């Protein structure tokens, strides 16, 4: 083998190694009002001082995927991961405009929100099929995790062989039962946090550097 060929192979190997160190695009998925945007804001604020978007008690406040790029998360052992966070609309099997009327919205606005939320779910699924490298799946730990939408979504994530961390959120609430989520999905790591209060988010960051690095 000539010197020139060996040199080209070394350069090729170096370039391949260099460019393979790309950012991981991490989607935050889960049902409506599980705390996805609250967590996205906390991650971005903790590591960049910025934010992703507004939160609300009204379901489907996030009706379009929102992305924040180039976030470096560092673990206690010094390992780090560079990610893009994608905050996705709440995924559900049914969106009814009457649900928004219960929060005092006028019918026209409720219908508009329901339509936008439906389009947002389709967009979130497109991201999951084509553009996501890993998933944080958010669940409200005060609610039953054995819902059709959760079983369906975890199945889709598994079929794509994506790394996933399940987050049992809202452990600051009296009815929180994160052990139910661990029982529902024992095949995946489950981290219990309060996205609102920041409880135990350091453990989540450690797991993110491990799973998505």
| Residue 7 within any structural domain of the chain | no
Q: Phi, psi (5° rounding) for residue 154?
A: -60, -35
Let me know whether 83 and 175 are in one domain: yes
Let me know whether 103 and 170 are in one domain: no
Please indicate whether residue 114 or residue 211 has the higher confidence score (pLDDT). 211
| pLDDT recorded at residue 131 | 86
| Residue 16 within any structural domain of the chain | no
Burial of 96 per CB tally in 10 Å (0-12, 13-18, 19+): exposed
| For residue 5, pLDDT beyond 50 | no
Global confidence as pTM: 0.79
Range of the domain at 186: 22-88+133-212
| pLDDT recorded at residue 22 | 61
Please indicate whether residue 130 or residue 154 has the higher confidence score (pLDDT). 154
Let me know whether 49 and 70 are in one domain: yes
Instruction: Render pLDDT for 96-147 as a digit per residue (tens, 0 to 9).
Output: 666 767 767 788 877 777 777 777 777 778 878 888 999 999 999 999 999 9
Let me know whether 149 and 115 are in one domain: no
Instruction: Render pLDDT for 16-69 as a digit per residue (tens, 0 to 9).
Output: 444 444 689 999 999 988 999 999 999 999 999 887 755 555 545 555 678 899
CB burial of 135-154 (b: ≥16 within 10 Å; e: otherwise) equals bbbbbbbbbebeeebbeebb
Query: How many domains does one find in the chain?
Result: 2
Q: Cβ distance 203 to 191 under 8 Å?
A: yes
Let me know whether 137 and 81 are in one domain: yes
- Residue where a domain terminates, one of 126, 153, 178: 126
| Residue 54 within any structural domain of the chain | yes
Instruction: Render pLDDT for 179-210 as a digit per residue (tens, 0 to 9).
Output: 999 999 999 999 999 999 999 999 999 999 99
- CATH number, domain containing residue 47: 3.40.50.300
């Amino acid at each position: 083998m000539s010197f020139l060929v060996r040199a080209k192979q070394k350069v090729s190997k170096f370039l391949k190694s260099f460019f393979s160190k790309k950012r991981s695009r991490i989607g935050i998925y889960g049902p409506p009002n599980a705390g996805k945007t609250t967590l996205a804001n906390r991650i971005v604020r903790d590591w960049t001082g910025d934010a992703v978007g507004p939160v609300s008690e009204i379901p489907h406040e996030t009706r379009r995927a929102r992305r924040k790029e180039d976030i470096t998360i560092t673990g206690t052992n010094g390992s780090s991961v560079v990610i893009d966070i994608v905050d996705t609309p709440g995924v559900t099997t049914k969106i009814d405009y009457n649900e928004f009327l219960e929060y005092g919205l006028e019918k026209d606005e409720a219908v508009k929100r329901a339509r936008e939320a439906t389009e947002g779910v389709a967009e979130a699924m497109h991201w999951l099929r084509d553009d996501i490298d890993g998933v944080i799946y958010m669940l409200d730990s005060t609610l039953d995790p054995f819902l059709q939408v959760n079983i369906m979504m975890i199945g889709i994530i598994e079929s794509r062989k994506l790394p996933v961390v399940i987050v049992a959120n809202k452990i600051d609430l009296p009815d929180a039962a994160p052990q139910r989520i661990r029982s529902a999905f024992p095949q995946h790591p489950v981290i219990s946090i309060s996205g609102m209060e920041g409880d135990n988010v350091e453990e989540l960051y450690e797991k993110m550097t491990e799973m998505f690095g």
